[in-house]
Amino acid sequence: MQGLIFDIRRFSVNDGPGIRTTIFFKGCPLNCFWCHNPESRNPFQEEMIVNKPLDGVQYSQAETVGQWMTVQEVVSKCLLDTAFMSESGGGVTLSGGEPLFQPDFTEALVNELSLLGIHVAVDTCGYASREIFERLLPKVHLWLFDFKGADIEKHKENTGVKPDLILQNLDFLISQKAEIILRYPVVPGFNDTEFDISALFHLLDKSRGRIKEVHLLPYHRLGEDKLRRLNISKPHIIPKSNSTAAARAIVSALASLPVTVKIGA
């Protein structure tokens, strides 16, 4: 069995506890306009222009994004750093794109890592069938669950899907007492209104302490250059106001909850 992977990052410290190896899956069911990894969205290999310095001069060349890998090939990369992982309380994080978009490969990889006693975190947009969550639940130690907003129409317009399934899956994980860190991309004009912040507040309140941590991820513009290098002309909607200021306002609004709220991952 093979999975389509577009990057493997070693020594990551922003994708869960400790030092981690992060596996980036290619393919995502959403199409968020702010996506800072647009090369992760298509579930197939594609060309992207990369700039490389050589003897002080910048060269541009097309490179293929995405590599088909077996479970054993991915596990071998993870095994390079198990000493750092156990020393730091780290592990492996499956990210993307969307790992649950390749469910059979993800399940096989999680099973293998679990047999090796490696801590596994899954970073997900939450848009997958309940059955996939049920299959993975016993072996995943931590869910980094993206919640992008509760306004149904804005969510559909800006990500391509309604939030209902995502919220149902989040409820399911909460009901199963899973470990969850909620990740909230702060995109001014999309999910920083009073309605949005109130919806986030109630969601956390309703989790009855199951969600202990929220990471607010301010919008940034890294994806724009990548869109150009992928030759995608889709307009990138640039929020007019400051996303870090919006994130600070959200921190204040959530202050009365028993939840650790961080800006950044």
Q: Considering the rule CB under 6 A, would residue 37 count as an interface residue with ligand SF4?
A: yes
Token digits of residue 154: 């804005």
Asked if 125 touches ligand SF4 (CB under 6 A), the answer is yes
> CB under 6 A: which stretch of 93-101, 130-138, 166-174, 194-202 binds ligand SF4?
93-101
- CB of residue 25 to ligand SF4, shortest distance in Å: 9
265 binds ligand SF4 per the rule CB under 6 A: no
- The beta strand positions in the chain, using DSSP E, are 2-12, 20-25, 46-54, 57-65, 67-70, 91-95, 120-124, 142-146, 180-186, 211-218, 260-263
CA distances 244 to 154, 158, 185, 249, 257, Å, are 21, 20, 11, 9, 21
Smallest distance, ligand SF4 to C-beta of residue 127, A:
8
Q: Which is nearer to ligand SF4, 38 or 91 (CB)?
A: 38
As given in the structure block, the two tokens for residue 21 are: 């190896």
* Nearest approach, Cβ of residue 95 and ligand SF4 (Å): 9
**Can you spell out the DSSP letters for 225-239?**
HHHHHTT--PPPPPP
Spatial separation of the C-alpha atoms in residues 42 and 32, rounded to whole Å: 13
- Binds ligand SF4 by CB under 6 A, chosen from 26, 41, 154, 183: 41
Q: Which of 32, 75, 166, 203 binds ligand SF4 (CB under 6 A)?
A: 32
Residue 28 interacts with ligand SF4 (CB under 6 A): yes or no: yes
Q: How many residues lie near ligand SF4 (CB under 6 A)?
A: 12
Residue written as tokens 């306004």?
A: 151
Q: Which of 10, 13, 14, 31 binds ligand SF4 (CB under 6 A)?
A: 31
By CB under 6 A, is residue 40 in contact with ligand SF4? yes
- The CA-atom distances, in angstroms, between 130 and each of 10, 133, 189 are 30, 5, 31
User: Which range binds ligand SF4 by CB under 6 A, 25-33, 55-63, 130-138, 168-176?
Assistant: 25-33
Contacts to ligand SF4 from residues 67-86, by CB under 6 A: none
The reply to whether omega before 97 is within 30° of 0 (cis) is: yes
Number of Cβ atoms within 10 Å of the Cβ of 248: 15
Q: Per CB under 6 A, does 96 bind ligand SF4? A: yes
x/- mask, ligand SF4, residues 163-202, rule CB under 6 A, reads: ----------------------------------------
Q: In terms of Cα–Cα distance, which of 2, 140, 120 is closest to 71?
A: 2
Which residues lie near ligand SF4 (CB under 6 A)?
28, 30-32, 35, 37, 40-41, 96-98, 125
